[in-house]
Amino acid sequence: MWILAGVSLIIWSGLLEHLLYLREAAPRLLRQARELGRGPVGKRTEALRRMTLNRARSGLQRALPVLRTLVTLCPLLGLIGTVLGMIQVFDSIAVLGTADPRALSAGISRAVLTTMGGLMIALPGLYLVNLVERRIERIMHRLTLESTSAGGTR
């Protein structure tokens, strides 16, 4: 459970930081896109526009692969707890020779709690990662529109 708590802390702090970064970066990127859209039309300008948009996308998405991986790992970490809990149950049966209800319930409780913990971290984490990805796509769409048609010069 401590590992799950640590991973959860990393996920939530990473998502919060990313949302705050998007709030700060979007207006600055939109200003840059408007400036690109007002520039002269030509191959160099188009190449600069594409390069700027690609750089903006990579900057906006910089932490998402790590966060998505951590969110995906949470249920698997919970399953490790399930396996360890069941090993504890079988060890108590092996040591005592019979199935002691107290020893069995302790191992089963451990197994169920870690599985539930992994799922409780993963479900809202997955929702928020998808929310951030959708927000990035909206920002990128606006950047593309602003960089190609700002000022009506194109």
pLDDT digits (tens, 9 = 90+) for 38-81: 767 767 677 777 888 888 888 888 888 999 999 999 999 988 88
Residues 109 and 120: their CA atoms lie apart, in Å, by 16
- Tally the residues of the chain: 154
Q: Average pLDDT of 114-133?
A: 92
Q: What is the pLDDT of residue 98?
A: 67
Residues 19 and 17: their CA atoms lie apart, in Å, by 6
The C-alpha angle with vertex 31 and arms to 27 and 36, in degrees rounded to 5, equals: 145
Both structure tokens of 54: 């690609």
What percentage of the chain has pLDDT greater than the value 70?
Answer: 90
pLDDT exceeds cutoff 80 at 142: yes
3-state secondary structure at position 39 = coil
Q: What is the pLDDT of residue 152?
A: 43
Q: What is the pLDDT of the chain when averaged over all its residues?
A: 83
pLDDT exceeds cutoff 80 at 140: yes
Q: How confident is the model at residue 92 (pLDDT cuts 50, 70, 90)?
A: confident
pLDDT exceeds cutoff 70 at 101: yes
Domain boundaries, the chain: 2-152
Four-point Cα dihedral 83, 98, 92, 4, nearest 10: 40
pTM of the model: 0.73
Residue for token pair 């990313």: 18
